[in-house]
Amino acid sequence: MRAQRLTKPGPVEQSPLQAADLPNPEPGPGEVLLRVLACGVCHTDLHLVEGELSPPGLPVVPGHQVVAEVVRAGDGADLSPGTRVGVPWLGWACGRCGFCRRGEENLCPQARFTGFHTDGGFAEELIAKAEFVLPLPDHLTDAQAAPLLCAGIIGYRSLRRAELLPGETLGLVGFGASAHLTLPVAQSWGCRVFVFTRSRQHQDLARRLGADWVGGVEGEPPAPLDRAILFAPVGELIPAILGRLRPGGTLAINAIHLSPIPSLPYDRLYGERSLRTVANATRRDGTEFLSLASELGLRPTVATYPLEEANAALADLKHSRLEAAAVLLP
């Protein structure tokens, strides 16, 4: 099968992903063999390819926003051939540790992640644990469904971590694939949404999607924020965002990798402001968000690339040349 595989990390401009012809995988007990229909391109993939995240072993095939069709099921896997499913970042959790028993399988110390511990969707086929694949809304094309599987799910978890309540004012800092799916969810809860981004293209998209205010971090929104989510992996933005929060407000950081956070005066946190991180997502997050996406009729804005142009898609993501989400089509 064809795949784009990482053997040695490096700047994406140097095309670290290399085309490979790999043996067709075989499903083991509890696993399914899947034919990839589409795979979203995520900032996590970029961090992996450029060496900011180190997988337990190389080479590895990235990709964890996988829309796929069941080809064959291993023993004990109850999925019929032809079923369309989604393969998210969380590929497996033990189910026995304290985190899993508390419903925090995203924090399981033995968790395995798609495209990091196991080969992912930058390929024609992959193997997944049957219990960890997700049902997909029927109204979406393969390319439209792909960004829901990480950008959408982790945005939804970020709303939960920020403890956004109906009618509150939410700030979204950075406006790419995840934020543009988070905005309509917040709107459906009756919230005002202020978008902070320096990209003119992203500002235009935010306005088209109905943001209540759009501007740069240095701008002056019309009201303090009740909650905020940082999507840009830029630690130096945190003091400025905290300065926008009302007392008692919460900032959730949606980033698996973040540049250093500078020192900040205590008054930016004082007043019972909260600072939280968002780490991975659970299957519950996935099923809840995908059900909500179907109810709201969410249709992500996507740009598609052939599998062979995975490096180009990552470069466009890195340099903010995308309006929202990039998707590879094998």
- For 148-176, write each residue's pLDDT tens digit: 999 999 999 999 999 999 999 999 999 99
Which regions in the chain score pLDDT beneath 50?
none
The token pair at 107 is 């924090």
Distance CA 170, CA 307 (A): 36
pLDDT tens readout for residues 109-156:
999 999 999 999 999 999 999 999 999 988 899 999 999 999 999 999
Asked whether the beta carbons of 69 and 34 are under 8 A apart, the reply is yes
- A 10 A CB-CB count for 107 gives 15
Burial of 263 (0-12, 13-18, 19+ CB in 10 A): exposed
CA-nearest of 156, 140, 138, 89 to 116 is 89
Which amino acid is it at 249?
G
Strand pairing partners for 4? 19
Distance CA 163, CA 186 (A): 11
What pLDDT score was predicted for residue 138?
87
2-149+283-329 and 152-277 share one fold: no
Sheet strands side by side (includes 213-215): 213-215, 192-196, 169-173, 225-230, 245-253, 274-277
The token pair at 13 is 């401009």
CATH, range 152-277: 3.40.50.720
What pLDDT score was predicted for residue 209?
96
What pLDDT score was predicted for residue 139?
87
The token pair at 216 is 């740069």
Burial of 61 (0-12, 13-18, 19+ CB in 10 A): buried
Residue with tokens 């180190």: 54
- A 10 A CB-CB count for 96 gives 10
Which amino acid is it at 217?
V
Residues 6+ apart with CB under 8 A from 100: 93, 94, 108
| Torsion sign over Cα 52, 53, 59, 64 | negative
Strand pairing partners for 87? 66
Residue with tokens 């063999």: 33
Query: Could you state, in order of their start, the residue ranges of all structural domains in the chain?
Result: 2-149+283-329, 152-277
CA-nearest of 310, 302, 308, 307 to 326 is 302
pLDDT tens readout for residues 280-296:
999 999 999 999 999 99
pTM of the complete model? 0.95
Cis status, amide bond into 59, omega within 30 of 0? yes
Q: Fold for domain 2-149+283-329?
A: Quinone Oxidoreductase; Chain A, domain 1 (3.90.180)
Distance CA 184, CA 319 (A): 25
